[in-house]
Amino acid sequence: MSDSRAADEAIDWQPAQTYAGYLDLDRLLGAQHPRSGDRDEMLFIIVHQASELWLKLFLHEIGGAMQGIAADALDDALKVLARVGRVQAQLIEGWDVLATMTPAEYARLRPHLGTSSGFQSAQYRELEFRLGNKDARLAEVHRRDAGAYARLQTALREASLYDLALGLLARRGFAIPEAALARDWRAAYAPCADVEAAWLAIYRDPEKYWDLYDLAEKLVDLEDRLQQWRFRHWRTVQRIIGTKSGTGGSSGAPYLARALDLRLFPELWTLRARL
Ligand code: HEM
């Protein structure tokens, strides 16, 4: 009798399709190129790369949720939004790993980062646009990357997740003003009393409007987790670089703090004072 754990298993020892091949691991695991010779740079690179992978899934799933809402397939969208919440939890956890980096460790890498900055993350910007934080100026840093720039322009001119949710409310008979349903989607969304009244009606009678109530709370979850991510970013940056400016040229922590005042789904927050 062999003492190997695999002795009685029908394992394919020469698989035609391999794990590494399916996942393209040679490229994925060959994509870390530390420049400083400092051992802590691997942490910095991997947390960023892992975050970009989660952002990729976040964007992918948000696209699915938006399709579901637009097609009145709300159950599908709710299922996807539940997954988005878990993806966001992974993104937030990333800060705990990165926060083990001390200011001195980061200072050794900083000269090697040059002018590169998360500010130039095209996926993050596309995601913010899809979620409704439209700011055309922020796409300009991608001008020289035709593919990214085109994707950002598309995301800017298309309805956001919240715009689609308001369209759904209108189709369900709520009095959503025309100005919220057919507007220039590139412009930032302006909160309005009629939209708040519609959500308020849903919150006052959850049993009658259960799926819309569930949608509203999932949107609140999403925005809450996005704020947690932004907050952890801001605090981690304060912890690691203090009051220094960013590699992307901004004021650093003060620039990041300003994002904490943004609201994606404003009426879902204001209605809470009226319940
Ligand atoms: C030591 C770690 C980090 C530091 C010191 C840092 C610092 C900064 C600073 C100062 C900015 C403002 C723009 C600038 O002037 O560069 C910024 C923006 C940004 N960073 Fe980080 N960051 C860190 C880690 C990360 C990680 C892990 C991600 C994950 C993808 C990330 C994503 C972003 C994004 C998306 C922005 C743009 C935010 C916006 O415009 O609202 N950063 N970062």
Which residue, 219, 151, 153, 164, is CA-closest to 186? 153
pTM, entire model: 0.97
The ligand 1 atom at the shortest distance from the C-alpha of residue 106 is 1
Cα 171 to ligand 1 centroid, rounded to whole Å: 39
Give counts: helices (H), strands (E), the chain: 13, 0
Diameter of the chain by CA atoms?
Answer: 76
Cα 173 to ligand 1 centroid, rounded to whole Å: 42
CB 95 within 8 Å of CB 233: yes
Please identify, in words, the CATH class of the domain defined by 37-109+120-274. Answer: mainly alpha
Cα 233 to ligand 1 centroid, rounded to whole Å: 7
The ligand 1 atom at the shortest distance from the C-alpha of residue 47 is 27
Residue whose CB lies within 8 A of the most ligand 1 atoms, among 92, 233, 250, for a mutation test: 233
Distance of CA 222 to the CA centre of its chain: 9
- How many other C-beta atoms lie within 10 A of the C-beta of residue 223? 20
Q: Is 62 exposed, middle or buried (0-12, 13-18, 19+ CB in 10 A)?
A: buried
Which residue bears the tokens 């308001």?
166
Protein residue with least CA distance to atom 39, ligand 1: 119
**pLDDT at position 3, please?**
83
Is the Cα dihedral 196, 89, 25, 35 positive or negative? positive
* CA trace torsion 164, 168, 173, 177 (10° rounding): 0
Protein residue with least CA distance to atom 35, ligand 1: 118
pLDDT by 10s per residue, the chain, length 275: 568 999 899 999 999 999 999 999 999 999 999 999 999 999 999 999 999 999 999 999 999 999 999 999 999 999 999 999 999 999 999 999 999 999 999 999 999 999 999 999 999 999 999 999 999 999 999 999 999 999 999 999 999 999 999 999 999 999 999 999 999 999 999 999 999 999 999 999 999 999 999 999 999 999 999 999 999 999 999 999 999 999 999 999 999 999 999 999 999 999 999 99
**pLDDT at position 207, please?**
98
CB 131 within 8 Å of CB 264: yes
**pLDDT at position 1, please?**
53
Q: Which long-range contacts (CB under 8 A, 24 or more apart) does 135-139 make?
A: 135/188, 136/186
Cα 253 to ligand 1 centroid, rounded to whole Å: 9
